A and B are shown apart, each in its own frame.
Chain A
Amino acid sequence: MSWLLAFEVPYWGQSVFRVLGGLVAVLLPAGTIVYVFLFKMMSFMQSRLGPMEAGPYGSLQLVAEVGKWLQKEDIVPANADRKIFKMAPVVVLLSTFLLVAVVPFGPDAWFTNFETGIFYALAVSSVSVLGILMAGWASANKYSLLGGLRAAGQLIAYELPMVLAVIGVVIQAGTMNLQEIVVAQNAGSIFGFDGLGNPYIITQFVGFVVFMIAIQAELTQTPFDMPIAESELVSGYMTEYSGFRFLIFFIGEFATAGVFAMIASTLFLGGWGVPFAWFGWESVDQVDNWMNFAGPVIVITKMMLITFLVMWARFSYPRFREDQLQRFAWKVLIPISLVNIMVTAVFKVAL
C-alpha cells in the first residue's frame, strides 16, 4: 500500500476526492438500506418475497424506481411559493451531506477532523428541520402544513435527549472529536482485559438506548412517523412533491438513516477500529495503513447492524399519538439521560 500513500495529491485533488467520497458515503448506504431492509427484510417479515422481477432477486429494482421517478413531471402546485417549494428538498439533503463530513472511516480516512466533531454533527442535523418546515409551508396544502408542524414539534422534542445521551460518551472519552472517541474505545480495556477494547455500548448502555430511540424519532421512522402519517395526512410535508424532488426527499430519509447509524456506531460500537490489542498497537499513529481500507468496510458493517435495529422497530410497532410522543420525550427520555450524565460524571471523577 505504500506506493499509494507516497503519491502526493494537490489540495484541489484532495477536495475532489472528498466530494466524490462524500457522494459515495451518502448514496451507497442509502441504496443498500432501501434494498436490503425496505424491499427485502420488510417483505420477509410479512411472508412475501418483495420485488423479484428486476435483476436477480430484484436487486435492480432500485435502478428501475429511480428511472421511473426521474421521468415523472416536476409538478408545482398553482398556489405554492415556487422558490421555497423547490429549495426545501435541497436543504434536507444538504444537512445529510454536512453530517457525513465528520464521520471517520479510518486512521487517515476522514473528510474533516473537527475538534468538536460530534457537537457539529448534532448542530447540522437540526438544519433538516428547516427544510421540512419550508416544504410543509410552501406547498400551500393543509395536510402538508400539519405534517411540517408535527415534524418540527417532534424533532425539537427528540433533539434534546439525543444531545444529552451523547454527553455521557463525551464525558467518558474526554473529547468531542469523533476520531479520538474511536481511539479511546479501541485502545481501552475492561478491568484490564483488552481483547474487546472498551466499546461504550457496555458502559453507556442507557445512553445507547436513549440515542437509538431519539434517532428513530429524528428520522421519523415508524413508531414516530406522525409527520407523514399516511392514514391521516396523505404523506405529510411530502404530499405535493413529485418526480425527482420526491426522490430527493426519499434519498434524504434513508441516507440520513445511514449517516446517523454511522455516527451511532462511531459513538457506541468503536467505529472503524478493531481492538488495538489484537495487533499490539498503542495509539492511532501506530495503526497500520491497511486499516484505511478495512475501516470503511467495518463502519458499513456496523452501520448495517444499527440500521437493522432501526428498521426492525419500524416494521414492528404501531404509531405513537401526539401527546404520548411528547410525554415520552420530556418525561421519560430526558430525565433518564440526565441521570445517566450525573452517574457518568461521578464515575469519571471517582475512578
Chain B
Amino acid sequence: MVAQNIGFGIIALMMVVGALRVVTTTNVVHAALWLVVVLSGGAAQYVLLGAEFIAITQVLVYVGAVMVLFLFGIMLTRTRIGREGGLNNPHWKWGIPVALLTLAATVLTLVSSFGGEKLPEDAAPISTQAVSDQIFGPYLLPFWALSFVLLAAVIGAIVLARKD
C-alpha cells in the first residue's frame, strides 16, 4: 500500500459523495457547487498520475470557466435560497440503466486495454512537451476535427443569439 493509493482512496470517496450530492441536493446552486468538488477531485487524481498539464487544464477549463458560467447562468435566471421542489425530471428512473451501461462500457474498455499496465512508483511527471508532441504529432487529425466542432459551436451560438 503506497501513499498514492491512500490518496486515491480519499479523493475518490470525496468525488463519489460529491457526485451523489449533485443529484440528491434540493438546491440548484448547491448542486453546481458539489459538481465543483467532483471536478476538482478529478484534477487531484490527474496530479496523482503525474499528469500535471492535464490536471491544471482541468482546473482552468472546468472549475474556472465551465462552472463559473453554470453558476452565472443559474444566478441570472433562478436565484432562490433554500429548498426547491420539482427539480426532478419525471423520467429520472430511466437514467439509472443508462448510467450503469455507460459505466460498464467505460470499465470494460479501460480494463481490457490498460488492465495489465502499472505506473512505476517513482515515475517523473509527464512533461508538457511530451503532451504537445503527441497532440501535434500522431493526434493532429483528431485535434483539427475537435477545433472544427468548436468553430461550428461558436458559429451556431452566434446564429442563435442574433435575431436579425
Contacts and interface: CB of A to CB of B under 8 A. Distances in A.
A, B: real partners:
yes
Interface of A: 79-81, 84, 114-116, 119-120, 122-124, 126-127, 129-130, 133-134, 136-138, 140, 145, 148-149, 152-153, 155-156, 159, 176
Interface of B: 27, 29-30, 33, 36, 52-53, 56-57, 59-60, 63-65, 67-69, 71-72, 75-76, 79, 81-82, 125, 127-128
B76 A149 contact: yes
Given A133-B72, A140-B81, A152-B72, A126 B52 contact: no
Interface of B is mostly: helix
B68 A133 contact: yes
Nearest to A83: B30
A155 B72 CA distance: 12
21 contacts: A79-B81, A80-B81, A81-B27, A81-B82, A114-B52, A116-B53, A119-B128, A123-B59, A123-B64, A126-B59, A126-B65, A127-B59, A127-B63, A127-B64, A130-B36, A130-B71, A134-B33, A137-B81, A145-B75, A149-B75, A152-B68
Contacts of A124: 59
Nearest to B58: A123
A156 B81 contact: no
A37 B72 CA distance: 33
A123 B53 CA distance: 11
A201 to B, nearest CB: 25
A114 B67 CA distance: 25
A116 B72 contact: no
Contacts of A116: 52-53, 56, 128
A156 B56 contact: no
B72 A123 contact: no
A133 B63 contact: no
Nearest to A119: B56
